[in-house]
Amino acid sequence: MGEGIVNDELPKRDDVRYIDKTRDYYRGEGYEKDYQWARFEEIPFTPLTKPLSQCRLGLVTTAEVSVRDAEVPDNLARDVYALSIDTPIDRLYSRKASYDKYATTLEDVNAFLPITPLRGLAAEGRIAGLASRFQVVYSNYSQRRSLEIDAPEVLRQCREDGVDAVLLAAV
């Protein structure tokens, strides 16, 4: 396991408390009902059962990725959609407006959809490869929608593509 710091060893946490900050922010905007973030006690777990070098990986992002000069997916329906993993990366872009635009940009697709590093790892044999398409999931207000519509669709597509594990990048 790399050089990172595991949870409890962290000397001092100063990560942004988004739950508190967004609650205060939206109250200030006049919203009376606080958003109830999902909370579960149990964490489901599936172990990886084969060597990574034999695994095909799926990739999912919430970055509302589209292909330049191509038709933009229907934003209103907010349905899960997929794009070819072989789309040249410089033809992909993010339409997402909800990110910290004061501090960063979404101009480098690999910063939220790491196709280039994964291709490198596949070329080196560290992983078997990538699914033929990646999935884009909208950040939905409705948890019920995420669980009953979006998640089953992602699962269906991942199974269809024969993926062994899935990387999900939340923007």
Partner 1 sequence: MSLVARYLEANGLPTVVFGCARDIVERCGVPRFVFSDFPLGNPCGKPYEPDMQRAIVEMGLDLLVSPGGPQPTFVVPFAWGDDTTWKEKVFTKEQPFLEGEDRDKWLRRKEEYRQLKAAGKV
Site for partner 1 in 86-115 (CB under 8 A): 96-108, 110-114
CB 154 to partner 1: min, Å: 5
How far apart, in whole angstroms, are the C-alpha atoms of residue 123 and residue 110?
17
Residue type, 16: V
CB count in 10 Å sphere of residue 4? 8
126 binds partner 1 (CB under 8 A): yes
Given candidates 22, 54, 70, 91, which one binds partner 1 under the rule CB under 8 A? Answer: 22
Q: Which stretch binds partner 1 (CB under 8 A): 39-47, 65-73, 82-90?
A: 39-47
The residues in 52-71 that bind partner 1, with binding defined as CB under 8 A, are: 52, 58, 60, 62
Given candidates 12, 45, 71, 72, which one binds partner 1 under the rule CB under 8 A? Answer: 45
Q: Is the dihedral of CA 150, 155, 160, 165 positive or negative?
A: positive
130 binds partner 1 (CB under 8 A): no
Q: Distances from the Cα of 79 to the Cαs of 49, 126, 139, 164, 167, in angstroms?
A: 31, 32, 10, 23, 19
Asked if 72 and 131 touch (Cβ cutoff 8 Å), the reply is: no
Q: Which stretch binds partner 1 (CB under 8 A): 8-16, 65-73, 83-91?
A: 8-16
